[in-house]
Amino acid sequence: MKRIGMLTSGGDCQALNAAMRGVVKTLDNSKEDVEIYGFLDGYKGLIYSKFQMLTGRDFAGILTKGGTILGTSRTPFKTINDPDENGLNKVEAMKQNYYKLQLDCLVILGGNGTHKTANLLSQEGLNVITLPKTIDNDLWGTDMTFGFQSAVNIATDAIDCIHTTAASHGRVFIVEIMGHKVGWLPLNAGMAGGADIILIPEIPYDIDKVIAKIEEREKRGSRFTIIAVAEGAISKEDAKLSKKDYRKKLEKQVHPSVSYEIAADIQKKTGREVRVTVPGHMQRGGSPCPYDRVFASRLGSEAGKLILDGQYGFMVGYKNREIVRVPLEDVAGRLKTVDPDATIIQEAKLLGISFGD
């Protein structure tokens, strides 16, 4: 008999359900008896012992379903060692609940913050296996995270829609793409959507270079320009500020996000009409694309295999087209960013895409 605790933590994304289904199907198809404890709303469920007993049937029909059947929440790692409002030690509470339920392991699905806590629990002696979810694709140790390709599809659709209206009106349009502190999503959606300018956090932009690209396009006869802006994009000037000064600047910021600041700068410097579109959380919503369904199922089945083999302390990842096991301590606290010198950036530049640098 294996007793498995499962939870999804952090921002949701597509294919969380597909991944959990993959784990459970693999276990169900083995000779092992299993009990599944589904902790509700992320680590909160484990801290406060809120869980549901689940069977294979609960995971039927969810391959195509977006969101997470377990619910999720953010439990910041920064404050994980601080007592809660009632003085409860959260880490001790998680450990106690794990031992009380006599769990054999925890399967934790999450992104960067989630992995820091998962690694902590593993170091505290719990058996942990993680699966890499996030639309940001910023987890170290895996070439791909599930949710990413589905989000690329949605963000690309948004750019496609903007393309036709921008062309009709002859306008400059900014589409703000999620991705937190990294540029994977805006880079890929921007290229897929034929954006003329892509601004990502890893390549700080110069607003005059952005304007120069718009003007160059106009000289060549193009009536419109599409700019894909990462929500974490940063100007060259701001990139020179210390973290503290940059935070101060953001506190005083009158614009709702960097895209509106860029739009205002272009408008002020050139008098051009600029429109901003923010697809926002749509990018995390809806059903997973076929790639993510297959990918998450593969990761889930490998996690199931690890459980059956009694191998813990790993994230199941994807490297060089292979499903791999990555030690949790290698993943936790490390961000996978876009290398500004990567070949994809060079190729995009050859295609005429400006990064505003």
Residue 180 found at the interface with ligand F6P (CB under 6 A): yes
Q: Is 14 within 8 Å of 64 (Cβ atoms)?
A: no
Using CB under 6 A, pick the residue from 26, 114, 122, 134 that binds ligand F6P: 134
Facing residues of 322 across strands?
319
Cα gap 134→144, rounded to integer Å: 9
Which residue has the CB atom at the shortest distance from ligand F6P? 178
Residue 67 found at the interface with ligand F6P (CB under 6 A): no
Using CB under 6 A, pick the residue from 67, 110, 141, 179 that binds ligand F6P: 179
Stretch that binds ligand F6P, among 37-45, 117-125, 178-186, 271-279 (CB under 6 A): 178-186
Residue 7 found at the interface with ligand F6P (CB under 6 A): no
Stretch that binds ligand F6P, among 34-42, 61-69, 125-133, 172-180 (CB under 6 A): 172-180
Nearest distance from C-beta of residue 138 to ligand F6P, angstroms: 8
Residues written for the chain: 357
CA angle 162, 166, 167 (to 5 degrees): 120
Q: What separation in angstroms does the CA of 247 have from each of 87, 113, 155, 182?
A: 30, 20, 27, 17
Decide: helix, strand or coil at residue 132.
strand
- Residues marked active site are found at 136
**Residue (156 or 225) nearer to ligand F6P, CB:** 156
Q: Is 196 within 8 Å of 285 (Cβ atoms)?
A: no
Residue 136 found at the interface with ligand F6P (CB under 6 A): yes
Nearest distance from C-beta of residue 58 to ligand F6P, angstroms: 25
For residue 12, give the amino acid letter: D
Q: What are phi and psi of 220, to 5 degrees?
A: -85, 0
Nearest distance from C-beta of residue 238 to ligand F6P, angstroms: 18
Residue 336 found at the interface with ligand F6P (CB under 6 A): no
**Residue (101 or 282) nearer to ligand F6P, CB:** 282
Cα gap 236→116, rounded to integer Å: 30
Stretch that binds ligand F6P, among 30-38, 175-183, 248-256, 263-271 (CB under 6 A): 175-183
Cα gap 128→95, rounded to integer Å: 12
Residue 321 CB coordination number (10 Å):
7
Residue 158 found at the interface with ligand F6P (CB under 6 A): no
Q: Which parts of the chain are beta strand (E)?
A: 2-8, 34-39, 51-54, 105-110, 128-132, 172-177, 197-199, 225-230, 274-277, 314-319, 322-327
Q: Which of 99, 174, 110 is nearest to 139 (CA)?
A: 110
Residue 292 found at the interface with ligand F6P (CB under 6 A): no
Nearest distance from C-beta of residue 11 to ligand F6P, angstroms: 4
Residue 177 found at the interface with ligand F6P (CB under 6 A): no
Range 99-118, binding ligand F6P (CB under 6 A): 111
Binding site for ligand F6P (CB under 6 A): 11, 111, 134-136, 178-180, 231, 284
